[in-house]
Amino acid sequence: MSTTVTTARGPVRGERRADGSLRFLGIPYAQPPVGDLRFAAPVPPEPWAEPLDATAYGPTAQRRPFAEVTTIPEPSVPGAGVLNLNVFTPRADPTAALPVLVWIHGGGYVAGSAASPWYDGAAFNRDGVILVSVGYRLGIEGFLHLEDAPDNRGVRDWIAALEWVRDNIAAFGGDPAKVTVAGQSAGGGAVQTLLAVPAAKGLFRGALSVSGAVPQPDGPEAARAAARLLTSRTGVPATVAALRDLSDDEILDLQDRLAAPGPDREGLPPMLALAPFADGELIPRPALEALTTGEAGADVPLMLGFTEHEFTMFPAPGPDGPPLPVLLGGLGLDPARADAVTRAYGADGPERVFGQALTDATFRAPNLAVADARAARERPTWLYEFTWRSPVTGLAFHCLDLPFAFDLLDAEGVRAVAGDTPPRELADALHRAWVSFVTHQDPGPDWPRYTTEGRVTKIWDEHPRTAEDPLSPVRALWLT
């Protein structure tokens, strides 16, 4: 059964699901970024009169499979109109004033898909929350510095989507004053970036950063280094004129060559070379710096955390590869910490030492630093670590927590990574905490705020619990 809702630009026709909830898929929040708009800031869509069919996912910016890191099914949908979003709502009642969760997908800022079955909003709808999932420009089109184009186009896409939510979500039953922005991996980094963007202030009241990843180093120098590297490796100038008319495949080929390892990457972060960066205008300061030493997000409740073994599945190079001190240096870490890292993680086997160091450097230490800094300033913060180990891998790895948080244990691909009987108690508790945070800006009475006195941290395991400062070894290893 179809249902039509009128947005500021025109009517959209969605579908009613078997449980009575509604979904509206592929709604454009900006014009297709093609032609003169390919590297421009997002432009609102032209109005339309006839109901827009919103019963199938819209085009995605992802054009190739991205299986190196993620275990999430990430469909690639062809088409130009990638600046679209999906709305899952319990009821399209303009008087309902329901809380809203805006979801920004991960994928290292170069991949990922808002059309993933892992991001279905059915369980949130069941519990009285609207879910909006957002597509945005990726890789070169979203984040490469070009002298003749606005920087951080992907960030501008996030802001445009949040502005669409502000202006339209009431028609779908939502309250624009009750928006929480959330995301995982690059999406978690997007959340932290948005906290540091003045133009995003007031577009959301809460923030939920899941395994948030932000680039380091971060700034115009690194962005210009990426642009120079693209040109030196490919011969293609980092300009709109040179890139605008290239095909998707040609752009992705350039992107692959930019991402390849090599000795000419000096000045670039070891990961996330195409990512949001502090351009001095839209993003005044690096996100991590703004969150740990500045006023960014001071009045916004923040729930953040990570899995115990995010990237631990990635082994170090073989015996002929670089030694651990060199590998740590490549991550921007002090090579002198190699012995301490080996002592801390060597019991898990030498093949996991580098992967755990990568996990710490990319996720655990930076997010712990944010939590500690916010706690020192008495800002509302809740910290967690997801430690439940999949029986498939024996690890609590990157992305494993999402089917539990979305309460989608039966979704496509979940059993392949979480086994045949993932713990229901964990899914119930984790999903309930998310719903409570989105609804009340507090995850519930069994999870106290993170403070300097106890540093109470939620441990998401088969039987969830809290613990006092369980991450002190991480702090001692990386932050002191």
Of 111-120, 172-181, 352-361, 386-395, the least confident = 352-361
Question: What is the C-alpha separation between 293 and 387, in angstroms, rounded?
Answer: 29
> Residue 186: CB partners within 8 Å, gap ≥ 6?
104, 105, 106, 107, 108, 109, 112, 213, 272, 275
Question: What is the C-alpha separation between 19 and 283, in angstroms, rounded?
Answer: 42
pLDDT at 400 over 70: yes
Closest to 190 (Cα-Cα) out of 63, 100, 105? 105
Question: What is the C-alpha separation between 141 and 152, in angstroms, rounded?
Answer: 9
- Predicted pLDDT at 357: 92
Q: How many CB atoms lie within 10 A of CB 68?
A: 8
pLDDT at 69 over 60: no
Q: Looking at the domain assignment, is residue 256 inside a domain? A: no
pLDDT at 67 over 60: no
What is the arithmetic mean of pLDDT over 152-165?
98
Residue 378 annotated in active site: no
Question: What type of residue is 22?
Answer: L
Q: Compute the residue count for the chain.
A: 480
pLDDT at 321 over 80: no
- Predicted pLDDT at 267: 82
Question: What is the C-alpha separation between 302 and 287, in angstroms, rounded?
Answer: 14
- Predicted pLDDT at 95: 96
Question: What is the C-alpha separation between 323 and 270, in angstroms, rounded?
Answer: 16
Q: Looking at the domain assignment, is residue 267 inside a domain? A: no
Chain segment 283-303, per-residue pLDDT in tens: 999 999 999 998 999 999 999
- Predicted pLDDT at 413: 96
Of 193-197, 203-207, 325-329, the least confident = 325-329
pLDDT band at 280 (very low <50, low <70, confident <90, very high): very high
Question: What is the C-alpha separation between 87 and 4, in angstroms, rounded?
Answer: 13
Q: Quote the mean pLDDT of the chain.
A: 95
Question: What is the C-alpha separation between 352 and 349, in angstroms, rounded?
Answer: 6
Q: Looking at the domain assignment, is residue 133 inside a domain? A: yes
Show the domain range for 22. 2-212+285-478
Q: Looking at the domain assignment, is residue 261 inside a domain? A: no
How far does the chain reach from its first CA to its final CA, in angstroms?
Answer: 59
Q: Looking at the domain assignment, is residue 226 inside a domain? A: no
At 325, phi and psi to the nearest 5?
Answer: -55, -40
pLDDT band at 66 (very low <50, low <70, confident <90, very high): low
Of 130-144, 259-273, 311-325, 458-472, the least confident = 311-325
pLDDT at 65 over 70: no
What percent of the chain lies above the pLDDT cut of 90?
Answer: 87
- Predicted pLDDT at 346: 85
Residue 398 annotated in active site: yes
Residue 211 annotated in active site: no
The CATH number for 309's domain is: 3.40.50.1820
Q: Looking at the domain assignment, is residue 255 inside a domain? A: no
What percent of the chain lies above the pLDDT cut of 70?
Answer: 99
Q: Looking at the domain assignment, is residue 253 inside a domain? A: no
What is the arithmetic mean of pLDDT over 114-122?
98
How many domains is the chain built from?
Answer: 1
Closest to 362 (Cα-Cα) out of 302, 429, 312, 296? 312
Q: Considering the candidates 74, 163, 310, 385, report the single residue annotated as catalytic.
A: 310
Q: Looking at the domain assignment, is residue 280 inside a domain? A: no
- Cα 277 from chain centre: 15
How big is the CA angle at 474 (ends 271 and 327), to the nearest 5 degrees? Answer: 40
Q: Are the C-beta atoms of 195 and 202 separated by less than 8 Å?
A: no
pLDDT at 349 over 90: no
Q: Considering the candidates 113, 185, 209, 211, report the single residue annotated as catalytic.
A: 185
Q: How many CB atoms lie within 10 A of CB 56?
A: 10
Q: Are the C-beta atoms of 122 and 152 separated by less than 8 Å?
A: no
Q: Considering the candidates 105, 145, 309, 398, report the single residue annotated as catalytic.
A: 398
pLDDT at 316 over 80: no
pLDDT at 271 over 90: no
Where is mean pLDDT largest: 252-266, 307-321, 373-387? 373-387
